[in-house]
Amino acid sequence: MNEIPRSSSKTYCMSEYDTLKKVILCQPQYMTIREVINETQKEFKDVGIHIEKALEQHAQFVNTLKEHNVEVILLPYHKKYPEQVFTRDIGFTLGQTIFVAKMAHDARKGEEEVLKQWLDDEEISYYNLQEDMIEGGDVIIDGNTIYVGLSNRTNQQAVNHLSNLLNQFDVKAIPFKAKYLHLDCVFNVVSSDVAIIFREALTKEDIDLFASRYELIDVSEEEQFTLGTNVLSIGDKKILSLPVNKNVNKQLRNKGFQVIEVDITEIIKSGGSFRCCTLPILRG
């Protein structure tokens, strides 16, 4: 896999911000904090998740995507997978290839099998990363640069494997404070020259790297907790974001982005927002 050509393939993705055409989601039908597996869940464990409200908010999210001409695929949900709404982590699309991830936590193991079944049914080939520990929330793509977060969910072995596989790409390992779960909870690229960042989670070296490449929108500690970085770009400088993240939204608008506010605050109680809830398979 030395070169990944552009074509009218069923799958294609080379950035986080090209026009989103096709994306995989899963309804939060069985969403629950059964076992605390991240810091956000720790905060909301006693409150719990209101399933009907989460389903209603997710439906509004899906409708918003469809209104912007995005084709939405809904994977079948299963009671044994309470985190299934977060489809981003089960894989990622790079070029024409879908890479299927290996889930690190027992509570999430098996979710990737649902994706593989759908891909098989659709006769879409994929690359299985089952020898490594990697989740899609740690993979951020910007053209020939692939940022891979080093976390409790993604290890150096996975980064090395990707580097060997993708020798035409610059695969950069980005260590960050483990309590923040995935890289996209502290950093996200929203255009070729703008990124959102929560500096406290990252090394000075990587902050300097990002500052040399992008105009940086800083996220406060409060808005990091409400996942201000975890927006979803759908192309043409349009971004889905939570209404509660007022400062991030204001900064995005000041830089010329159209911010589409959708409330999925019930879903973020489990530790993921718009990017976490989506697995793009076709952008362009």
Residue 75 in any domain: the answer is: yes
> Domain range holding 246?
20-283
- Whole-number CA gyration radius for the chain: 17
Q: Which of 13, 26, 276, 277 is catalytic?
A: 276
Q: What is the pLDDT of residues 5-54, one digit of tens each?
A: 344 479 999 999 999 999 999 999 998 755 554 455 455 455 678 999 99
Considering only residues 255 and 7, tell me which one the structure prediction assigns the higher pLDDT: 255
Residue 169 in any domain: the answer is: yes
Considering only residues 114 and 39, tell me which one the structure prediction assigns the higher pLDDT: 114
**Residue 236 has what pLDDT?**
98
Residue 13 in any domain: the answer is: no
- For the question of residue 276 being annotated catalytic, the response is yes
Cβ atoms < 10 Å from Cβ of 83: 28
Q: Which of 26, 182, 185, 277 is catalytic?
A: 182
- Please state the domain count of the chain: 1
- Distance between CA atoms of 95 and 174, rounded to whole angstroms? 21
Query: What does DSSP assign to residue 126?
Result: E
- Give the CATH number, domain containing residue 49: 3.75.10.10
Q: What is the pLDDT of residues 167-196, one digit of tens each?
A: 999 999 999 998 999 999 999 999 999 999
**Residue 7 has what pLDDT?**
40
- For the question of residue 58 being annotated catalytic, the response is no
3-state secondary structure (DSSP) of residue 194: strand
Residue 2 in any domain: the answer is: no
Number of Cα atoms under 13 Å in the Cβ half of residue 120: 7
